[in-house]
């Protein structure tokens, strides 16, 4: 697996590595890589029953472009971006033959693709979150991890641009969204992975 992925820690806990059942934020931009199904399957197979939150990637980039050219209501665009995550989650679930879930079930074994829209609508934590481009799938995955008491693994196209756990710097660099420092506050261990 390490011959295909770069791995690192942003916020290491006392123990090393990612623990049991991390929440995995799978960047939607990875879905534009020709070998993404094989690469992602290899990474997921190395984890213990991960809960996977798939980002919107190019679908959400299209929504951002529309909003840039003619600004739309923030709540409408936010809802459409979350709906786009549902589409990319379905693509990943179909390609990797993984089950989907609308809520977290701690008794589930094996990888699960979380329907972020359904989870946000049903979870108390989801009702307190902001709407807008400052809150993306990074913060949604962090909110899920904090709510269910799991580690977080950020799987992105590129490694973090700066070492360490300075979330403000990572946010300023655009590697995570603006709300991520708040969303990730309760998570004890956060790692990252990027394809080589």
Q: Could you tell me the CATH number of the domain that includes residue 146?
A: 3.40.1160.10
pLDDT digits over 142-176, tens only? 999 999 999 999 999 999 998 676 888 999 999 99
Confidence of residue 44 (pLDDT cuts 50, 70, 90): very high
| 108-131: average pLDDT | 85
Higher-scoring residue by pLDDT: 39, 122: 39
Question: How does the average pLDDT of the chain come out, rounded?
Answer: 90
Chain centroid to Cα 132, Å, comes to 17
> Is pLDDT of 18 > 60?
no
Which residues have CB under 8 Å from 28's CB, separation 6+?
Answer: 54, 55, 56, 57, 58, 59, 60, 85, 88, 137
- Residue-range definition of the domain harbouring residue 142: 5-195
| 89-96: average pLDDT | 97
pLDDT at 134: 83
For the chain, how many structural domains are there in total? 1
Give the HSE-up count for residue 74: Cα atoms under 13 Å, Cβ half-sphere.
Answer: 7
> Is pLDDT of 86 > 80?
yes
> Is pLDDT of 15 > 60?
no
């Amino acid at each position: 697996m390490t011959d295909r992925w770069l791995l690192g820690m942003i916020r290491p806990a006392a123990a090393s590595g990612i623990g049991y059942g991390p929440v995995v934020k799978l960047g939607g931009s990875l879905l534009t890589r020709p070998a993404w199904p094989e690469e992602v399957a290899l990474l997921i197979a190395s984890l213990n029953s991960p809960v996977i939150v798939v980002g919107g990637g190019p679908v959400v980039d299209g929504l951002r472009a529309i909003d840039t050219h003619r600004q739309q209501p923030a709540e409408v665009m936010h809802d459409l971006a979350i709906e786009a995550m549902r589409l990319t989650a379905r693509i990943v679930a179909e390609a990797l033959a993984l089950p989907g879930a609308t809520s977290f079930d701690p008794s589930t074994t094996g990888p699960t693709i979380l329907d972020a829209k359904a989870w946000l609508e049903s979870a108390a934590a989801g009702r307190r979150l902001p709407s807008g481009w400052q809150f993306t799938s990074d913060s949604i995955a962090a909110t899920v991890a904090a709510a269910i008491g799991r580690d977080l693994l950020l799987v992105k196209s590129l490694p973090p641009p700066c070492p360490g756990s300075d979330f403000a710097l990572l946010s300023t660099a655009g590697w995570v969204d603006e709300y991520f420092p708040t969303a990730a506050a309760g998570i004890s261990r956060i790692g990252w992975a990027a394809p080589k």
